[in-house]
Structure 1
């Protein structure tokens, strides 16, 4: 059973794989929690707002934007790619590839890279959007490409990591993992440390391979399939890994939050946590948005739970983002929730999008940049 060949929306797929494990075949995911009122402690002002087409066009994919050289690069499912000035929010250029796009945007100030639904890696000039080259790859890419020197690195949904020459798209190396029968529709975004590409795989492992030739350095499982059905045995490191303080932090769906040695992948500690998004670090904590909709802070040294905010249950939260003294998450109704890093209490709430915020906001010059699945993008600052 493989959901990659099924072109149903991500939302429908995620609903299927989010059945409550162990509660019987007729268990369903509970409805999202109703938002509770609170007394705001800070106020947010919108600096600018823009919009790019139809956004995800109800595909419920995670289109992560690229911030490079004061420019935000983003795309919509139908094929348009946009460059927006991060200071003013004004359009710089847009191009239409006239074919569905997935996976978000990667690159730098010279080139940006996008991937098509039909499995092509496309390079564009970052200054004007002119197409430079395209190359067929083995399958869909559901996360942005990562650039290392002259190599473009992508992870495909069929369990491959591959490097391509940034100048002409010619293949340079490939690493292949063993894929389970059932996975979430998504992939971890590769992260480069020195000359190692570190990423999570759909089989519940974190791997490090050479960014120069794809040779495997090490592999470490952080989730082991359990149960009788394929759904119960589903494990997937889907949200990317975090590199912080000479350690790797990764979390798996129906798995664990693990701290791994940066150089050999050996576990330092692990605790049971299920998530489809990446962890983040702030103060002395590691923050996670769980599959149940909790935002939890763990001490990064002792793995002790510091606090848990449970009032956003089943609201399909983004990965948490550290913004000064605060933690920010987006949800399925277009809300941004701002929490205190100290105790997880709500300090502010805004609704910058009319639809699902599928991708975590990003920070630029102390401003919060929010992209919604409706094609909206806006910048916010603390008053």
Structure 2
């Protein structure tokens, strides 16, 4: 397969490599001079000569605080969240959600995280039902309004054990549910009954989720091989050879698809754009920082999903780099040197992201300039953000659901929802769904 463009230009500034899950308790910033410290978490004293202008060191146009006001788009009422990222592009803007949320139901959705594996798959919502893939490769369907059980099915192949079968994910085209599994299989199920339609086996495990668009299922194996299958029969349309398996952080990412282009994240930090129809490789970027230290050399994985919006791709890696690229050419638009393992959320002219330092950051899409940076409350590990009802929502491993102002980053509200959460909230039908580490599914409306 011919590569049209392979660009590995990195930014030339960062103070330190980012260590995964290191959190420093710093206060919220207010000036351009300390924004870089807020995002990267640097506490080293640095002598700077001359005029200091950059909000975050790196390439791009940012020369100070972002000037564009944060304008939240009108909320869209979505009946479904049919992909791991909601829609194939992973860009949902602002979803309809009430200001006051009450618990509607709590149900157990299978086996949660254990000593042999983590619960990582995002739930999906389609056709009035919510579907969950647990840590032992079982899929369960529930009523999205009441939590009543509809069906359940194990995807564990004959002669295999579900222990350690964590990873994979779900996506839907409405009539079918497509599941990827750690057994290296893709399985199509009837959404109404759970009955198996087809099953395909691949050489390597599939730890990440699929994306479904235009009659095709896209996914990447742990060997960094990208595939496209037909939704009707599972026949292979194309395959792209990868760089082989590499060490990475536990994550559950998935490709982004828009305008006939598939942007697939790989565990070695590569972000590769393919033709959705034929698999031709358009461009390839690597999201490792130019100065990432040896301690994160094996954690280059793009754990958050890439997002396609307005002809641009936004992605962040564990290895100290977030960047925006032109969707068609792969040309870098801007780059910032900080780490994250959550999916960026695009809304209006801004992209919101949680950094590895447990900070929520608002970045201007056009320039990469930072509008604000705030420390997330209470410490811990946070998943999100998503935007519903004009506010940003995130959930933590300390059992806290918090909402934030997109204009300022100020905390609007926090509430205890119990137990540990490592999976970002899902919003559909004016309802927030939360899946905790024990595979208990909560609905708030």
Q: TM-score, normalised by structure 1?
A: 0.83
Matched, 1:235 2:300: yes
Counterpart residue number, 2:101: 44
SS of 1:212's partner is: coil
Q: Is the CA contact 2:208–2:220 (under 8 Å) kept in the aligned structure 1?
A: yes
Structure 1 residues 29 and 237: CA distance shift in structure 2, 3 A: closer
Structure 1 residues 307 and 179: CA distance shift in structure 2, 3 A: farther
* Cα offsets for 1:195-254 (capped at 9, x unmatched): 211122223232111222211011123334646736446422221111122211111112
Q: Structure 2 CA distance, aligned partners of 1:56 and 1:169? A: 30
* Cα offsets for 1:265-296 (capped at 9, x unmatched): 11111111201121112243211111111111
Q: Structure 2 CA distance, aligned partners of 1:346 and 1:228? A: 33
User: Shift in Å at residue 31 of structure 1?
Assistant: 7.3
Matched, 1:320 2:385: yes
Q: Structure 2 CA distance, aligned partners of 1:257 and 1:281? A: 14
Q: Is the CA contact 1:188–1:201 (under 8 Å) kept in the aligned structure 2?
A: no
The correspondence for 1:67, drawn from 109, 118, 125, is 125
The correspondence for 1:145, drawn from 203, 207, 210, is 210
Q: Is the CA contact 2:177–2:190 (under 8 Å) kept in the aligned structure 1?
A: yes
Alignment of 1:1-383 (within 5 A): 43-57=100-114, 59-98=117-156, 99=162, 100-179=165-244, 181-186=246-251, 188-224=253-289, 226=291, 229=294, 231-232=296-297, 234-312=299-377, 315-355=380-420, 357-381=421-445
Q: Structure 2: give runs of 5+ residues left out of the alignment.
A: 1-14, 26-98, 157-161
SS of 1:255's partner is: coil
Q: How many residues align?
A: 351
Q: Structure 2 CA distance, aligned partners of 1:180 and 1:135? A: 20
Q: Structure 2 CA distance, aligned partners of 1:176 and 1:313? A: 43
Q: Structure 2 CA distance, aligned partners of 1:340 and 1:169? A: 43
Structure 1 residues 136 and 175: CA distance shift in structure 2, 3 A: same
The structure with the larger Rg is: 2
Q: Structure 2 CA distance, aligned partners of 1:374 and 1:181? A: 28
Q: Is the CA contact 2:224–2:245 (under 8 Å) kept in the aligned structure 1?
A: no
User: Shift in Å at residue 354 of structure 1?
Assistant: 1.7
* Cα offsets for 1:103-124 (capped at 9, x unmatched): 1211222111223322221111
Q: Structure 1 CA distance, aligned partners of 2:266 and 2:111? A: 30
Q: Structure 1 CA distance, aligned partners of 2:181 and 2:285? A: 31
User: Shift in Å at residue 101 of structure 1?
Assistant: 4.9
* Cα offsets for 1:310-331 (capped at 9, x unmatched): 1447622113111122111111
Q: Is the CA contact 1:155–1:187 (under 8 Å) kept in the aligned structure 2?
A: no
Q: TM-score, normalised by structure 2?
A: 0.72
Structure 1 residues 130 and 229: CA distance shift in structure 2, 3 A: same
Structure 1 residues 148 and 292: CA distance shift in structure 2, 3 A: same
* Cα offsets for 1:145-192 (capped at 9, x unmatched): 112333221111111111123233232211123257532244630111
SS of 1:53's partner is: coil
User: Shift in Å at residue 94 of structure 1?
Assistant: 1.6
Q: Structure 1 CA distance, aligned partners of 2:191 and 2:298? A: 42
Counterpart residue number, 1:7: none
Q: Structure 1 CA distance, aligned partners of 2:166 and 2:189? A: 14
